[in-house]
Amino acid sequence: MLTWNDAEVRAAFPALALRDDGLPRLYADAPGGTQVAGQCLDRMRQAMVEQCANEGGLFLTTQRTSDWMLVAHQAAADFLNCDQDEVIFGLNTTSLLFHFSHMLSRDWQPGDEIVLSRMDHDANVGPWIIAAEERGVTVRWLDVDPQTFQYRYDTLDTLIGPRTRLVACNHASNFLGTISDVGRIVAAGRAVGAVTVVDAVQSAPHFPIDVRAIDCDILVSSPYKYFGPHAGLLYVRQDLDRRLKPLKIRPASDTMPYRHAPGTPSFEAQLGTYGAFEHLGWLGDRFGAPTGDSLRARMVAGFAAATAHETKLALCFMEGLAAIPEIRLYGISDPTQVHLRVPTFSMTVAGHSVEAVTRVFAAQNIYVWDGSFYAYELAGLLGLREQGVVRIGFAHYNTLDEVETILEVLRGVVRTP
């Protein structure tokens, strides 16, 4: 086990070495999508050059596709801590949730209720609202405290009751960075027999996901947010899945992994995602202390090393932001609570539009986003739907020097009239 080595970690990401007109790239756009690990690219090339064929035939390339498809599903199960038959690869999180909202709402009755959250990305809100409208089901809202940037857990008892069919919430916010106590929300939903759905798109890049510990029925994430390709990954608890009628064409298979795959899957995205998991395992081997040889143990160790590094970045950034009074941070700012957030920071800068700030960054080849990132309810609650925020987010390939560079740019912005 080595101490963290920025240069070695960064060398694992080919895109980090690129320059434009001599300028290096500073990627602070991780919450929108991370850069891709070299191991992901290698696996995608394997899928598209060495074994490009559909699955299920008798010749070499198709047989390789079948074999590697299973490898990718097993690795995804290791990533989530579930069984291979509980894993579904799809186009992205949003389309997977639309697909499942259709199946899950088939037996909802008028007068039933669902609980959605005001902190979620709309991918875990909109599909459920549409299904509720179609079935005459009432939507109830789990609110966010705008002072603490946490869910109003104290309202769970009154929100969730015998008519609740579904409870959906996020694991980490793509806007605030807040990490939620999902176990508490899921337990409240399961206590009344509701289906529980967790959006882990923004937590999965930063710490290990354990669906058994969370105890949810469905959990979604997007591999392009954790060093892999554009794809979606959904966990569905086996006993719930057995009760669902798959949304499939007649000749298609009724068994996993095809049960919820409408058409030919992206084999290259599955293998690319496997490559992203290999990257996390490699991080564990190099900079962590795996408790065993399994891919999960190695990934968990990789995350432990990455989280320690990201915490340093977050603390440095939080300290720097606190010293710039013109900046208003929407999210946890107390360094003693850094463990309650991921390194995703949304802010406004007094006297400057978010677009103007983002432009200053872009001119220096520093990639940060402005907008409200489909956190539609939350942006409304905070009065930021029109104005938006500047969002700066880090992944384990970022460095303390990069954080300092970003702070220097922000100090320059506030000095400019």
Ligand X SMILES: Cc1ncc(COP(=O)(O)O)c(C=O)c1O
Q: Which stretches of the chain bind ligand X, using CB under 6 A?
A: 92-94, 121, 123, 170, 174, 199, 201-202, 222, 232
> Closest approach of Cβ 98 to ligand X, in Å?
10
Burial degree of 311 (CB within 10 A; 0-12, 13-18, 19+): middle
Q: Which CA distances in Å does 362 have to 22, 29, 321, 365, 369?
A: 15, 11, 19, 5, 10
Nearer Cβ to ligand X (90/290): 90
> Closest approach of Cβ 199 to ligand X, in Å?
5
Pairing between β-strand 138-142 and β-strand 23-24 as defined by DSSP bridges: unpaired
> Closest approach of Cβ 232 to ligand X, in Å?
5
> Closest approach of Cβ 93 to ligand X, in Å?
4
**What's the CA gap between 400 and 403, in Å, rounded?**
5
Q: Are 346 and 367 in contact (CB under 8 A)?
A: no
Q: How many residues does the chain have?
A: 417
The helix (H) or strand (E) run that includes residue 215 is none
Nearer Cβ to ligand X (51/196): 196
Nearer Cβ to ligand X (232/302): 232
> Closest approach of Cβ 202 to ligand X, in Å?
5
Nearer Cβ to ligand X (180/333): 180
Number of helices and strands in the chain (H, E): 14, 17
> Closest approach of Cβ 220 to ligand X, in Å?
7
Nearer Cβ to ligand X (218/413): 218
Q: Are 26 and 32 in contact (CB under 8 A)?
A: no
**What's the CA gap between 96 and 385, in Å, rounded?**
26
Nearer Cβ to ligand X (126/284): 126
**By three-state DSSP, how is residue 36 classified?**
coil
Q: What are phi and psi of 171, to 5 degrees?
A: -95, -35
